[in-house]
Amino acid sequence: MNKLVRAAQTSQSLSLAAMEEASRRGLREADIEHLFLALVINDQSAGRALRSIGIDLKAARHAVEEQHEAQLASLGIAPSFPEAGRIVFHETDGYEWSPRALDLITKSNGKNKTGDAAAVLRELVAEPSGLIAEILDRLGTTPDALRKQLDTPAEKTRPVPAKVKGRISASSETFVSAPMEKVWEFLADPTRIPEWEPSIGSIEHSGQEASRGPIWQGLAPISHPDGRPVKIKAQFRRRSIELVTAHRQQRIAWSFAHPDVAQDSSVLTEFALVNTSGGTQIQITKSWSRRHGWRSLVAWPLRPLQRFLGWITLFQTGSAISRAFR
């Protein structure tokens, strides 16, 4: 993966997670403390470094709250923060980075810098206000200790997706701050599919049985999370959903198809889970049948666009699963 692509994907994932954290407090501006929280749950080496020294999302959130309270108390102001609520970023709009947070992300993409989450974390712990250093102190560590951890090669715990012959596939990883058993149960529950599959708004049992088990029927959502209506053609309104694989705690796979579309190619969404520090690492793989004959020639020039759209879909799915446990 080249630096430009890596930096773009890193910026996208950190922006989403940070602004989700800001939305819990009713804020529309994500600052460096929200960037820090986003790094704690990041699936790259930065997140693994933080979690390997015992910093999980719950502890990090608590340390950030304590630091804000201490800052106000030092000014003689009695802190009275409202109780944090659920994440509403995906239901609202108007979010942006603070100037200093945006500056940090920009610096991480500078000359001789990698542009990944580790580069962002290095810039963050060197941030001159001292806010992150004080938060780390509340978490029992220091910027130097964190830099040392970043410099220490760590064995990456990586789930392995199953290979499917005759199908085109795309994969992505995500970290979820929850035990593997709970994540597996969430992904294996058909009633929870609308929470992580954007094309499904509701689920009902169809009454049909396939060779591997029951088939559920999914209906497309009628509105976006922010209330805007969804425009969709009638033949794409229904989707049949079949549980293909269910190896407890380790692997789960669902097949999606449009029963009202002629010659429709089913999409297989597979999750491979592995236990890791602070939660669960998930490898998400989506695959679909290869086109043959003249259709394959027509589709060939569109491969870069397909890969990009595949990454966007995987990113949305991974972010939705992570959000469900935060």
Task: Tell me what the pLDDT averaged over the chain comes to.
Answer: 87
Q: Do residues 200 and 136 share a domain? A: no
Count of structural domains, the chain = 2
Q: Is residue 162 included in any domain, yes or no?
A: no
Mean pLDDT computed over 131-157: 89
Give the per-residue pLDDT at 102. 96
CATH number for the domain harbouring residue 305: 3.30.530.20
Residues 173 and 147 in one domain: no
Q: Do 133 and 215 belong to one domain?
A: no
Greater confidence (159 vs 193) lies with: 193
* Predicted confidence (pLDDT) per residue in 29-81, tens digit: 999 999 999 999 999 999 999 999 999 999 999 999 999 999 888 888 876 66
Tell me the CATH number at 86. 1.10.1780.10
Range of the domain at 263: 167-324
Tokens of 236: 């794409």
pLDDT digits (tens, 9 = 90+) for 268-300: 999 999 999 899 999 999 988 765 444 454 444
Give residue 144's pLDDT: 96
Which of 81-90, 206-215, 251-260 shows the lowest per-residue confidence on average (mean pLDDT)?
A: 206-215
Instruction: Read off the pLDDT of each residue in 101-114 and give the average, rounded to a whole number.
Output: 92
Amino acid code (one letter) for 52: S
Q: DSSP string covering 147-184, please?
A: HHHHHS--------PPP-TTEEEEEEEEEESS-HHHHH
CB half-sphere exposure, 222, CA atoms < 13 A: 1
Q: Do residues 188 and 326 make contact, with C-beta atoms less than 8 angstroms apart?
A: no
CA–CA dist 253, 268 (Å, integer)? 7
